[in-house]
Structure formats: structure tokens, C-alpha cells
A and B are shown apart, each in its own frame.
Chain A
Amino acid sequence: MQLELIRWVYRLKTVWAVLLSLLVGAWLIRITGHDPIESYKALFVGAYGEYWGFSATLTKMSPLLLAGLAVALPYRVGLFNVGGEGQIYIGALFSTLFALWLPGLPMWLAIPGTIAVGMLGGALWALIPAILKAYRNLNEVIITLLMNYIAINLVSFAVGGPLRAEGAPYPYSDEVGDSYLLPIMMDGTDAHIGALFGVLAAFVIFVVLKYTSIGFGMNTVGANPHAALYAGLSVRRHIIMSMVIGGALAGLAGTFEVIGLKYRLYHLFSDGYGYDGVVIAFLANANSLAVIIASAFMAGLESGANVMQRAVGVPITVIDAIKGLVVIFVAASLAFSYQRSGLVKMINRRKRLNEALSASALGEDRV
């Protein structure tokens, strides 16, 4: 009983880490000469407790949630997808091209079509590092990271040149047609239904991983790739599948930014959502349902920060500092482990995957 209690304390360590970072954040707010309690009240009420603020949180949550899932799912197979940012850009580029190419489509075709094409874009962008990992065992962290810059610049080139709207003062594309605009959840706000899609995706992933044989296979590859080969699974296929699905989800995030929020493609439109996704997946320990909560929290910090600045006068940069603290404390909390720390697990998982890949370089070619 007592043991069970201690175990729960450990299980909730991410929560303690977040609370601790808010506590240190309070001290930072104090230094800037404001009342921490007043400021946090403004922040959280502004983010969750009030119509306009909550709509802003939901708007932010859409890309964060999807980007979080884009990291969390491949991680279950032992892969670290740092390429969410690039996949977001390519997804947005693909969906913009589709929307501008067929401006007259009716809504029932336009929106599903854009979503499909945007997901395809993200998936294709993730397919490259996935194939390099599966067949040549090249480090996916480096490849996805570097491909982000290619993607960002590709979009900048597109909207600065061939796609640039006529007379635009700034590199952006033409507006997409009316039939492409994603429905809004809350009247009079920006809150499009993207976050809803994200929640749905999170539940689907949760169910697939927990209850289906596909999920069992993915978990097995992540937990012990040698045993997965022995069980008759193709480790390569699982690597590619999980990366491609992750890329598709990030591509979807990019699509929603275009057809849900900005209605056109801007250069540098994503402010590091793909990287925030890494933090969120990390906060959630790669559990897709926890990703919902973690992304709601991070989105709330972002949107609440504006409210806090307006109402109390605390500079937004304090929130950036708090976000940094969250990362540090959550990382530190992994050192306190009831059994085996998540970080050790994660490192071992990657190590074993790499070993199995070099082993299966022999075996899988044949079969």
C-alpha cells in the first residue's frame, strides 16, 4: 500500500517537475517586479478560463498536438523524429499547391483532399530519413534535423518566387478558395477544428498501440528489435511505417495552419512547432493520450502569456524562460526513477534498434 503510494509519486514525476518549474518561474516574475500569484492567475485564466483566451489556446494546440504525436509515435518504435518542423512545412506546401491548383472544388472534396495531400507531403518528407535509417542505418536524428532547413527554405523559395501573390509586400502565396477553409469551432474566433482532429488522432493511436496486433508489433520492435525479428516481423517495415505516419501527422499540422488559420502559405509560418513537438512528446513520455494534455499545457502557456503581459505587464520572455525550465526539470526528473529511468530506457531502445539493424542487414535481405 505504502509502496503503491510511492510508486504513484514517482509516476507523477512529470507533474512535479512542471510544478517546480512554475515555482522557479514565480521567482523570475518576482524579479521583474510583479506579483507571481496575480500573474499566474492572469496566465491560466487567460488561457483556459475565458472564451477568447481558450480559443487562442485551442488554435495553438492544433499544431502542437499533431507535432507531438509525430514525435511520440516513431519513438515507440525506437526512432527519434526531430523532423516535425520540416514535415510541417512540406505538408503546408503540398496542401497549398493542391488548393491553388484546383480552386473551384466543392467543400466536401476540397477539405478532405487538401488534408490527404498535406499528409502525403509530410509522409514523403519523412520517408527519406526512414529509408536511410532502415536500409543504411543512418542516424535519423541528424537527417531529419537537417532536412528541416531544406524544407523551410523550399517554402521560402516557393512563396518568394513562383507562388508569391501579386503585389504582396511580404513572401506569401495567394489566398486559398473559400471552399477550402476549415470550419471554426467557436464563433467569432480563430479556433478551427484542427485540435479536434489531433485529439481524434491521439485516441486512434492509443487504441491501435494498445489493442491491435499492428500496435503490438510496433511496441515489440521498440522494446526488443531482436525479438521482433525472431517473431517474424520486419523491423525495416516498422521503421518506415512509423516514420511515415509521424510525418503525415506533422504534415497535417502544416495543412491546418494554412487552411485553418492563415488561409495562405507564408514563409517562416511555423515558429518551431516541430521542435515544441519533441518537448511535448517528451513531457508525455510518448503516451499519445498524455500528448493531448501536454500540448494543451504548452499551448496554454503560449496564449496565456499574451494575456499576462497585457493584464499584469510581465514580459512574454518570462514564459519562454519557464518553458525552458520545464524542459530542464522534466529531463532532471527522469533521473529519479522508481525502477528504470525513461531516459536509460530510451537510450537502450535506440542502441538495440541499431544493433538489430546491423544484424538484419544480413538477415532481412534474404527473406
Chain B
Amino acid sequence: MKMRTFIIRRLLLLIPVLIGVSIFVFMLTRIAGNPAAAYITERMTPDQIAEIEARYHLDEPLVVQYIYWLQGILHGDWGYSKVAKLPVTDAIKEFFPATFELTFTSIIIAVVIGIALGTISAVRRDTPTDHGTRVLALAGVCLPVFILALILQFTFAYQLGWFPVTGRFDDQLYNDVSFQDYRITGFLLVDTILRLDWIRFYDAVWHLVLPAICLAFGSIAIITRIMRGSMLEVVNQDYIKTARSKGLPEKVVVKKHARRNALIPTVTVIGLAFGGLLGGAVLTETIFAWPGMGQWAAAATVYNDWASILGFTLITALVYVFVNLIVDVMYAYLDPRVRLE
């Protein structure tokens, strides 16, 4: 199968999934309570209530309601977020950059460290390095992200004072200019570079370190485990023996011949790890007071702000599905056998 056909097929398969997700979220909105409740007051007569219900199509069968609801979603009407005091779509635009910055940094950290640790662990199998790495990976899988966050905050921010405890930037640095005016793209790291503002850039990086490490830890563990496993499998293959026997230096064998092939299965778990990352972001952002979508959603649950919660669910599902699509395409590119199924 050609790459283009593969991608088109994969995109077509997305349609039923996306419809399914939208039906699921729609059902949650109907379980959450009468959507017209926000417009109904105690003094209204039953006629007035009926009128409101008719205006929002709530007297129609569920299927028709769903179609109206989906129309709204497609036209950008995602409801109003009580917590953010903004329409949900605007709230997502507002909070997305912070979350993206955090998760993107984390996935980079996780991939780089995970692949390195997995390779070293496999090459030095059954040495203290290997055992140490495996213990670390085990801890990464078992330690809840919110407890790791507290440990990091307690040790490195509170006791040692190396990093700030919470937040995304130092308020004092933005005394002379409001953050709203300062932002260009909303991505703080990008904005500070665009303005060649190194002091604020360092400040942003300094604030990012602890939450990013915290969020990355679980994914590091997953990637390390898979990388180690697939390295060990690859090392026994004939082409590695061939590479060695023709006199290539060990470094070249490991880097060019073994690691490249071991990377293929690892790519698939990156998509999986990203799902964990999106979930972990809710907890990490809450603890580090990181002004992203996760913190917004967690705050929304406290105030029963359905529109925000379901908007957040919908957008994370979209992002997750999209990332997995990219991962699948990468996988098919790296391993042509996948395309032939």
C-alpha cells in the first residue's frame, strides 16, 4: 500500500470514532441536567419554560437534539465557561498555549531520556546501571504524578529554593507591562524569544523545569521499559551479528544498527504515553498552579461547570486522536510492513 493510501484510509477510520466521541459527550451533557436550567427562573410559568425548551430544541427527540447540538459544536458554539467567564472556545484558546508548552516540553524530555536510558540499560544488561534504570522505571510507573509533584515541590522549591513553587512566570517581572499585552502567540517561551527578552525567557524556563520533569517522569518510565525490551530483542538479530563480524566498532553497531530498529516499537508507545501525559497534566497543573487547560478543567469540576468540563473532554479527545494519527503514520513510515496489512 502506498503511504498516501494508508493516510487516507487512516483518516476515513477516524470519522466513526469522532462521531462516537461526539455522541458520548452529547449524552453526558444530557445526563448532566436540563441544559435549559440556566435560562429558567422560579417565576416562569410552564408556558414560558416550554417556550425556552422549544427555542433550544429540547422538546424534540434526542436524535434531533443531537444534530442541533453537533451543528452548534461545528459552528464553534461550545457553551459558556462559568469558571473562565468566557465562551468555552475562547477559554480553550486562552489556556491551550500553557498546556501545550508544558506537555510538549515533557514529551521531548521523556523521549530523549527514555530512549537514552533504555539503550544504556539494554547494552549494559544485568549491570548496576541496568538495575538502577529498571528501579527508576518501576518507580515512574508506580508513583502517582501528584505525589511526585509534591515531593519535587517540597524538596527543590520549598526546602532548597532552587525553583519557584508554583506559577508560570514571576508576576514582578510583568509590573510595567500587563501579561495580556505582552503575549503575541500565548506561548511564553516563543513570545519572549520573539521579543528578544532574555530575562523573561529565563524566568519562563525556570518556572517550567519542575512541572515538566514531574509530568515527564511517568512517560520516561514507559518509554525506557519498551526501549530496553526492543533493544534486547534487536541485539540478537542476525544483522547485528553481521555488523559486528564485519568489524564495525561497537558504537556504530549500537547507534546505527541496533537503536534505529529498536526505535520502531518505541514510537507506538509515545502515542500511548501522550494520553497519560494529557491526564497527568490535569494533576500537575493543579498542583503547580499552571494556568493551562488542566487547571481550568479541575477548577470547573469544583463549580459543576459542565460546559467547561465537556469542552475540555472534547478538545483533549481531538488532540489525542490527532497525535495518535501522527504516531501511526510515523510508524508506517518507519516500518513499511505495517502498511501492507
Chains A and B bind each other? no
* Chain A residues engaging chain B, CB cutoff 8 angstroms: none
* Chain B residues engaging chain A, CB cutoff 8 angstroms: none
